Amino acid sequence: MSTDLFSLAGRRALVTGSSQGIGLALARGLMQAGAEIVLNGRDGGKLEVAAAQLRDEGGRVDRLVFDVTDHDAVRAAVDGLEAGTGPIDILVNNAGMQHRAPLEDFPADAFERLMQTNVASVFHVGQAVARHMIGRGAGKIVNICSVQTALARPGIAAYTATKGAVANLTKGMATDWARHGLQCNGLAPGYFDTPLNAALVKDPDFSAWLAKRTPAGRWGRVEELVGACIFLSSEASSFVNGTVLYVDGGITASL
């Protein structure tokens, strides 16, 4: 099989929530596969630091500052980018947040923030980008799900609900948009060493539990998500639609 199937040369990818962690790692990986990158976040300063890192590595990188939970701001930013500098060929909906609390005490405002950041953002950005992709008859959308798309743990019921919703929204995107030439899929990380999981990584009891619970016996490294993202962003996945690809060291396969 030709490696050209996985080449992203000549493509441009927008990655939301990409100033650090998984988003930045995926942006770097797509860049190394040949894509031009557009980083997104709310903090322009943090984005510029991340963009400078990728440019120093030889990438073509731009940044687009907007709040993924603001429908009008998303639409204006995406439309402006498309009109000003050209098409978005690949969208990675990565922006997300976590809030841990027992469900019986879970704050209502935190629940709403999770829904807006983790679910509504996928709709807002996905719709804004897809409207342009549909006109071109091609496009790749990768929505970042989670091991919590399939599993739950104490204290994160709301987060689990959001990631289950992202998986079903992904299926809906594929159902509506596949006929227009779009491939819309989910990428579900297991437990990875990221800023979002910093408290868990520092907890020796949790890390010991995770090593026993995960067949691979360890935390994931963010770079280990890159291959799956390149696959879902490239011609190699031209007939893959509405699926969720788990990259989790086997945790969802094992009791």
Cα 108 from chain centre = 25
- Told to judge if 246 belongs to the known catalytic residues of this protein, a careful annotator would answer no
CB-side neighbour CA atoms (13 Å) of 229: 32
Residues 6+ positions from 120 with CB-CB distance below 8 Å: 69
CA distance 141 to 156: 26
Helices (H) and strands (E) in the chain, counts: 9, 7
* C-beta separation of 16 from 68 below 8 A: yes
Active-site entry in 66, 111, 123, 159: 159
Reference 245, options 139, 156, 172, 167; nearest CA is 167
Residues marked active site are found at 159
